[in-house]
A and B are shown apart, each in its own frame.
Chain A
Amino acid sequence: MIETKKTTETLLKVENLKKYFPIKKGIAVQRYVGDLKAVDGVSFEIRRGETLGLVGESGCGKSTIGRVILRLLEPSKGKVIFEGKVLNQLSHEEMRQMRSQMQMIFQDSYASLNPRMRVGDIIAEPILIQGVSSRAEREKQVCKILEVVGLSPYHGARYPHEFSGGQRQRIGIARALALNPKLIICDEPVSALDLSIQAQLINLLEDLQKEYHLTYLFIAHDLSVVKHISNCVAVMYLGKIAELANSEELYKNPQHPYTIALLSAIPVPDPTAKKDRIILKGDVPSPVNPPSGCRFHTRCSKVQTICKEQDPNYRELEMIIS
């Protein structure tokens, strides 16, 4: 960690980000009864041209982080800094301009596509907003992008419901690429796809990154894909980052008991293989009343008394060892 000099500038920085959703009860009069702490103090940074992988259990707050970065949700606390500007302080107009530089590939691709628009128009819309007024030129660009994501130009004339699940996912990717953004938040971009097309798209994302110096926040639960594409990986648990490390290091030498359990649970494509996964015991704790001390202590195999009382400090381990 000491040697890895920060050679390139930081594009995105997230500081102590929190997002709480208020919980209300009651039918006639809604009474506030507490907070659901979806994201509870998350910090990381991504350098220009690099990829940060974000993994963690379903419901731990990954998509919420993505939405808060784009200001589709306002944070409860903390800052998002993009190219040196604090996004939460921007006016609506400034934010609107900023948005074209930050795109999101949504997890629920179908729900994020307008069912009444043809796919060609869905992709052309952002190109039009960018000021490409010639129809022929837009069509040319749309065709190119469709091919880039493994669809054909004739697909542009169809509506979203006429596509398979994986094809719709690729339409979402095409729309995000159309704007030439600097940052793309990819929320489970390939999890609905078969391996060959996953491989095509991962290669594509990597090629585009090299060519245009794109930066990715890559949210996924598939650790093998994340490992392949990311420079660094952040492992989240219940609204917090449990471990953040260089991706090679994380897989070779995971430190946090949760990371170790995650790595052990990956299904192996070999029907004769012996399986010694660590099945996490105990209920998934609630983000409304997270466990005291270390949030993982209710399910950790290495739990000690202190874990129940104190929240472990988030620190740079390599620095201490070396």
Chain B
Amino acid sequence: MDQELLLRVKELRTYFYTDAGDIKAVDGVNLEIQIGETLGVVGESGSGKSVTAMSIMRLIPIPPGKIVSGEVMFNGKDLLKASEDELMRIRGNDIAMIFQDPMTSLNPVLTVGDQIMEAIMLHQKAGRTEAKKKAVEMLKRVAIPEAEVRIDNYPHQFSGGMRQRVMIVMALSCNPKLLIANEPTTALDVTIQAQILDLMNDLKREYGAAIMLITHDLGIVAELCQKVLVMYAGNTVEYTDVVSLFTKPMHPYTWGLLGSLPKLDVWAKQHLEPIQGQPPDLRNLPQGCNFAQRCNHKKLICEQQKPTWLENEPGHFVSCFLYEEEGKRHD
């Protein structure tokens, strides 16, 4: 496919320097997104998904945080080297983000409508009346009943899932080239979820946007994403197309992840099978592979050295010693 590269992140590292020690929240992240593509990002809670997203947007609080090294090429420009002015233009216009905590990112003293209209007036150069019409229309598209009336509500008068939908509307009304959606549908039931995912697909079709979708729902990944990135303890451990991920996953963590799906068709009330053990302390990462403590396949070398990020098969990247002999170096 002759697609065009929109975003490439290389060897990104973001640390937090706290009293309790240096937290290596993101410690070697690599990813690519083509125009018009949806990349799913999955990985254990605390593995650095949100910090990666915030680093791409350069929204990491400094101090205590710092982007230590790496490259974030967006449309041919390294965002890590961009000036604050350039970033202001890019955020909201070219890259929009749906944050993980809808309540904390909505302003409690402004009505839902005012907040959406502000985004529309800013990014679509619309007047107030037109912005209001568009805001109502968008709220309808995300299944808010009686949108004409509810638009005058304050955030606390909306349910959890309704607030999440307001966030989605605000991000979409910027017509971004890249939408970073951080767990956008966690609070939504399946029927509304389906509508939202359709809406995001429309955005892709109409404007050729790309989406980076952070989610823990592998069902959504399977339905919506073309590529998938798996993260563990600040590292990207696997990256491939969606079919390969489900049919021939390579990394032992991915195996565990796919194994802990609660299945609807299994009847017995058996215990679910989580991956045993805890993720490592990010202040004190092991010398070898970050997953070694919990890995059933570890070899001697795994505790001594870090595995490298390799393209094991065309388009299928993995970071694990099980594949290191056969693979070729990626640069």
Chain A contacts to B: CB under 8 angstroms: 21, 23, 55-59, 63-64, 107-108, 110-111, 150, 152, 154, 157-158, 162-167, 169-170, 187-188, 191-200, 202-203, 206, 221, 223-225, 227-228, 248, 251, 261-262, 265-273, 275, 277, 279-280, 283-289
10 A-B pairs with least C-beta separation: A166-B45, A58-B161, A267-B219, A199-B272, A221-B189, A286-B145, A194-B216, A265-B190, A199-B274, A269-B218
A265 to B221, CA, bound (A): 15
Segment of B6-14, B28-36, B97-105, B204-212 engaged in the interface with chain A? B97-105
Chain B residues with CB under 8 Å of A262's CB are 189-191
B44 an interface residue at 8 Å Cβ cutoff?
yes
Check B246 against A270 for contact (C-beta < 8 Å).
yes
A188 to B272, CA, bound (A): 18
8 A Cβ contacts from B151-196 to A:
157-162, 164-165, 182-183, 186-194
Check B45 against A152 for contact (C-beta < 8 Å).
no
Quick one: closest B residue to A107, CB to CB? B160
- Residues of chain B at interface, number, CB under 8 A: 69
* Other-chain residue from B183, B192, B219, B222 in contact with A165 (beta carbon distance below 8 A): B183
* Other-chain residue from A111, A188, A227, A268 in contact with B222 (beta carbon distance below 8 A): A268
Check B216 against A193 for contact (C-beta < 8 Å).
yes
Chain A residues with CB under 8 Å of B70's CB are none
Contact A162 to B275, CB < 8 A, known contacts A224-B264, A269-B221: no
Chain A residues with CB under 8 Å of B104's CB are 110-111
Segment of B122-130, B253-261, B308-316, B319-327 engaged in the interface with chain A? B253-261
Check B216 against A195 for contact (C-beta < 8 Å).
yes
Chain B 244-277 interface 0/1 with A at a Cβ cutoff of 8 Å (1 = within): 0010000000001110111110010101111100
B199 an interface residue at 8 Å Cβ cutoff?
no
Check A150 against B278 for contact (C-beta < 8 Å).
yes
| CB proximity of B49 to chain A, nearest CB, Å | 8
Check A202 against B272 for contact (C-beta < 8 Å).
yes
Check B187 against A221 for contact (C-beta < 8 Å).
yes
Quick one: closest A residue to B152, CB to CB? A25
Check A192 against B100 for contact (C-beta < 8 Å).
yes
**A59, A193, A273: most-surrounded residue (chain B CB, <10 A):** A59
B200 an interface residue at 8 Å Cβ cutoff?
no
* Other-chain residue from A110, A163, A199 in contact with B273 (beta carbon distance below 8 A): A199
A265 to B50, CA, bound (A): 28
Contact A192 to B186, CB < 8 A, known contacts A57-B192, A165-B50, A267-B223: yes
Contact A269 to B219, CB < 8 A, known contacts A58-B187, A63-B159, A261-B191: yes
**B158, B242, B258, B272: most-surrounded residue (chain A CB, <10 A):** B272
Chain B 35-65 interface 0/1 with A at a Cβ cutoff of 8 Å (1 = within): 0000000111110011100000000000000
Check B191 against A196 for contact (C-beta < 8 Å).
no
Check B191 against A164 for contact (C-beta < 8 Å).
no
23 interchain pairs, CB-CB under 8 A: A59-B144, A59-B158, A63-B159, A165-B50, A166-B216, A187-B160, A192-B186, A195-B216, A196-B44, A198-B260, A202-B262, A221-B187, A227-B264, A251-B264, A267-B193, A269-B222, A270-B246, A271-B222, A271-B243, A272-B243, A283-B140, A283-B143, A283-B145
Chain B residues with CB under 8 Å of A286's CB are 145-146, 149
Chain B residues with CB under 8 Å of A221's CB are 161, 187-190
Chain B 112-146 interface 0/1 with A at a Cβ cutoff of 8 Å (1 = within): 00000000000000000000000000001001111
* Other-chain residue from A192, A200, A275, A285 in contact with B145 (beta carbon distance below 8 A): A285
Chain B residues with CB under 8 Å of A225's CB are 262
Check A165 against B100 for contact (C-beta < 8 Å).
yes
Check B194 against A265 for contact (C-beta < 8 Å).
yes
Besides A267-B217, A268-B222, 7 other CB < 8 A contacts?
Answer: A107-B187, A167-B46, A196-B257, A221-B161, A262-B190, A266-B219, A269-B261
A196 to B194, CA, bound (A): 24
Quick one: closest A residue to B270, CB to CB? A228
Check B159 against A224 for contact (C-beta < 8 Å).
no
Check A194 against B42 for contact (C-beta < 8 Å).
yes
Check A284 against B223 for contact (C-beta < 8 Å).
no
Contact A224 to B160, CB < 8 A, known contacts A262-B191, A287-B145: no
Contact A188 to B191, CB < 8 A, known contacts A154-B281, A165-B183, A266-B264: no
| CB proximity of B178 to chain A, nearest CB, Å | 21
A110 to B103, CA, bound (A): 8
**A58, A110, A158, A269: most-surrounded residue (chain B CB, <10 A):** A58
A154 to B20, CA, bound (A): 8
